[in-house]
Amino acid sequence: MGVLTNLVGKRFGMLTVVKRDGKNSSNHVTWECICDCGEVSIATGNNLRVGHTNSCGCLKKTCKTTIDLSGKVYGRLTVQNDGHRTKRTGVRMAHIKEWRCLCVCGGETYVTTGHITTGHTNSCGCWAKENARKLAYKNLAGKKKVAPNGTLPPRKTKEGYVRVHDKNHPRACKNGFVFEHIKIISESLGRDLLSHENVHHLNGDRADNRIENLELWSKSQPCGQRIADKLKHAVFLINEYSGEGLEKSTLDELVLASEIINKRISIITGEL
């Protein structure tokens, strides 16, 4: 005997399978189905699959479609009593009733009796869209919990750096993550890092992103080793980082250096 196929939720013509009913006198598995007209019927799985049974009998005008859903609530939908429409199903060109329903989001949709009473349709489509967004964010977060403010937990790279979720940061990637050491030092400076700057971890631990463990470095340097180039670059650095995060001893050294430079320039130009 083969494995029993679960037909619950599947549609065959105008029938939607609700649950397994049991077995008939011939020992064939039977299924309880609800028709689009609202009537409940019992059919064997084989008859459903091969198309011998595709309605409760309403296609042969053997049942009455007197069910009234007006005013009832199903999921997010409330059935309206001010009209309905009929549509051609394609099953022997039958015509079935569709109820006009209003959704809690303000949308409107038309649903057949079978779809609304079995829970197959429980909104105008807004519910599916919301679940799709949640699923997309869940896939982004993996199996980790998303914080109430919508941020994701930190991640650690194979190189040992920590990345945090901050989609508003100018250095954030497409997935909203930014290196924590860059985020912290840029917040300390009150500006974003320049293209020629990077961050050094003083103790060598790339996951230790305390501000006292971070040091701003500059990667830029003059082309070649000519003295004129180095002097020009020294002037550039002084202008670039004038007073930014410098200790008093460093500032005193810069003042002394500027006096030496000015004196040297005066000698070269012959003013002394």
Q: How confident is the model at residue 210 (pLDDT cuts 50, 70, 90)?
A: very high
Angle (CA) 68-74-79 rounded to 5° is 45
Amino acid at 157: T
What's the average model confidence in pLDDT over 244-248? 60
1 or 139: whose pLDDT is higher?
Answer: 139
Residue 8 neighbours by CB distance under 10 Å: 12
Instruction: Say if 265 falls within a structural domain.
Output: yes
Which domain-ending residue is among 128, 157, 173? 128
Instruction: Say if 68 falls within a structural domain.
Output: no
| CA distances from residue 152 to 164, 165, 208, 250 in whole angstroms, order as listed | 8, 6, 19, 41
Q: Do 155 and 199 reside in the same domain of the chain?
A: yes
Q: Do 210 and 236 reside in the same domain of the chain?
A: no
Which residue matches tokens 């779809």?
A: 115
Instruction: Say if 106 falls within a structural domain.
Output: yes
Instruction: Say if 166 falls within a structural domain.
Output: yes
What's the average model confidence in pLDDT over 62-80? 75
Q: Do 153 and 213 reside in the same domain of the chain?
A: yes
For the chain, how many structural domains are there in total? Answer: 4
pTM above 0.85, yes or no: no
Residue 31 neighbours by CB distance under 10 Å: 24
Residue 113 neighbours by CB distance under 10 Å: 24
Instruction: Say if 138 falls within a structural domain.
Output: no
166 or 148: whose pLDDT is higher?
Answer: 166
Instruction: Say if 204 falls within a structural domain.
Output: yes
Domain carrying residue 207: 144-218
- Could you read off the pLDDT of 172-205 as tens digits, one per residue? 888 889 999 999 988 888 888 877 788 889 998 9
Q: Do 78 and 120 reside in the same domain of the chain?
A: yes
Instruction: Say if 4 falls within a structural domain.
Output: no
- Could you read off the pLDDT of 92-126 as tens digits, one per residue? 445 567 888 999 998 988 888 777 877 778 889 88
The answer on pLDDT for 151 being more than 60 is yes
The answer on pLDDT for 19 being more than 70 is yes
Q: Do 103 and 45 reside in the same domain of the chain?
A: no
Instruction: Say if 3 falls within a structural domain.
Output: no
**Mean per-residue pLDDT over the chain, rounded:** 77
Q: Do 22 and 51 reside in the same domain of the chain?
A: yes
Q: Do 201 and 238 reside in the same domain of the chain?
A: no
